[in-house]
Every structure is written in C-alpha cells, then in structure tokens.
Amino acid sequence: GEKVEQHESTLSVREGDSAVINCTYTDTASSYFPWYKQEAGKSLHFVIDIRSNVDRKQSQRLIVLLDKKAKRFSLHITATQPEDSAIYFCAATEGADRLTFGKGTQLIIQP
Amino acid sequence: NAGVIQTPRHKVTGKGQEATLWCEPISGHSAVFWYRQTIVQGLEFLTYFRNQAPIDDSGMPKERFSAQMPNQSHSTLKIQSTQPQDSAVYLCASSLEVSNERLFFGHGTKLSVL
C-alpha cells in the first residue's frame, strides 16, 4: 500500500522567515495530496491541498508544490507567524478514497 | 454547524473490558472515516463508510474491532476485550464525497486501557 514519509520531524524557524516541510510518497497512482494542521490539544484541520493535474497551488501564505516524477510534495509557509506553530501532516490518497498520512512535522516559530 | 462530534472525549477501561466510541458526522456528508492516532504509529486508517455502507475495513484489527453506521447521523467503533496497546486517540472524520475531498475531523476520543 501507499507509504508517505515526512522528512522533518521537527522544524524551527524564526518568525517572519519561511518554513518548508517535505514529503514523499510511493504510489504512482496517488492523485490527491492534502495537508492538515494540528494545534496543541486540538484535532486536525485542513489547510491546503493539491491534485495531480497541477504542480503548484497557493493560498495566501501557503504554497504547495508537487513533483510527480520524484513523488515528492512540499508545503511552504511564507512570512511565518506565531499562530503557525503546530504539527503539520501531509497525506496522499491510497486507491481512490482513503488517505495515508505522514508522521507529522512539529513546526516551531521562534520569536 | 457543530462539526464532527465524538463522544466520549476520554474513556478509561480496564484490560479485557469493552469500549464503544461514538461519532456524529456533519449533516449531509456521505463518507465517514475512522483513524487511530498514537505517538509511535502516527495516524492509522481503520475503516470507512460511504452512504452508511462499509467500504474498506482493511485497517481494523479483525478479531476485536468492529464498526457500524446504523444511520446517516452516527457511527460507532466497538473494541472488545481492550488491551493496553489499544490506548490511542480515535479520530472520526467525515467528508462530502469520498474521493479526494477534504476531511473534517472530530476532536477524538482518547482511550486509555489500564
């Protein structure tokens, strides 16, 4: 089945700098790649996604890049703010429906 | 819209006891997913339903875990003869359609098996 690897378990950046979280996947048939955010003590909520028919998507300060050849996708958070501190999970579809998640990246925004 | 509602928020059971976890998906959502979250394993898929029908339960430990969705407004996950390794946060999520749609997660049920 699909395996999703999230390369950084912890990432620390200064407030205002950019943060990049990288993920790789194994199933060439995967076509949907969402990202979720989990703040301390809270559940996951959706932040942004990208589908395999495009290689870049931006929503305000969030940019997702997809490299299908390398089976790699990444989340870029620009101009980081304290409220960006959280655990970020990448995911990929397995088959048509279910999502397989990475292990998560703890993003720390330093003042 | 109250979002996905999971009850109870916390459940403590003794080894060998049964635990039933409840999920109320967002009204109008046709797909319901169950995941388990632990520090070591991360987020593990358990099972999902589409329009109340079970579609894929390949992530469920077969012998002691079962899930049902008797109507469109709730789903249950039952764990029989709970073991310490079942301790985890069990997350329920729903989505409008099944394929390639964002999931809305509940707050989870933290199960502690003593």
> Does a cis peptide bond (omega within 30 degrees of 0) precede residue B8?
yes
Q: How far is A13 from chain B (nearest CA, A)?
A: 23
Question: For the segment B52-109, what is each residue's pLDDT rounded down to a tens digit?
Answer: 999 999 999 889 999 999 999 999 999 999 999 999 999 999 998 767 789 999 999 9
Please report the pLDDT score of residue B2 as a whole number. 79
CB under 8 Å to B46, separation ≥6 — which residues? B33, B34, B35, B36, B57, B59, B60, B65, B67, B77, B90
Question: For the segment A52-111, what is each residue's pLDDT rounded down to a tens digit?
Answer: 999 999 999 999 999 999 999 999 999 999 999 999 999 998 766 789 999 999 999 999
Say yes or no for a CB contact (<8 Å) between A44 and B91. yes
**Helices assigned H by DSSP within chain A:** none
Beta bridge partners of residue A7, listed in sequence order:
none
The Cα–Cα gap between B112 and B88 comes to: 7
CA dihedral (B81, B111, B39, B36) positive or negative: positive
Say yes or no for a CB contact (<8 Å) between B56 and A89. no
Measured CA distances, B93 to A1, A29, B18 (Å) = 21, 23, 22
Say yes or no for a CB contact (<8 Å) between A98 and B105. no
Structure token pair of residue A51: 């589908």
Instruction: State which residue of chain B sits closest to A104, comparing Cα positions.
Output: B42
Question: For the segment B41-51, what is each residue's pLDDT rounded down to a tens digit?
Answer: 999 999 999 99
The Cα–Cα gap between A107 and B69 comes to: 36
A74 with A88: CB under 8 angstroms?
A: no
The backbone torsions φ and ψ at residue B72, rounded to the nearest 5 degrees and listed phi first, read -70, -10
> Could you tell me how many CB contacts below 8 A there are between chain A and chain B?
54
Nearest to A97 among B35, B48, B91 (CB): B48
The Cα–Cα gap between A38 and B89 comes to: 13
Beta bridge partners of residue A72, listed in sequence order:
A24, A67
Measured CA distances, B43 to A4, A103, B38, B104 (Å) = 11, 7, 7, 15
Which whole number is the average pLDDT over A16-45?
95
Cα B45 to chain centroid, rounded: 9
Structure token pair of residue B90: 């069990």
Extended strands (E) in chain B: 5-7, 10-13, 19-24, 31-38, 42-50, 53-56, 65-71, 74-79, 88-95, 104-105, 109-113
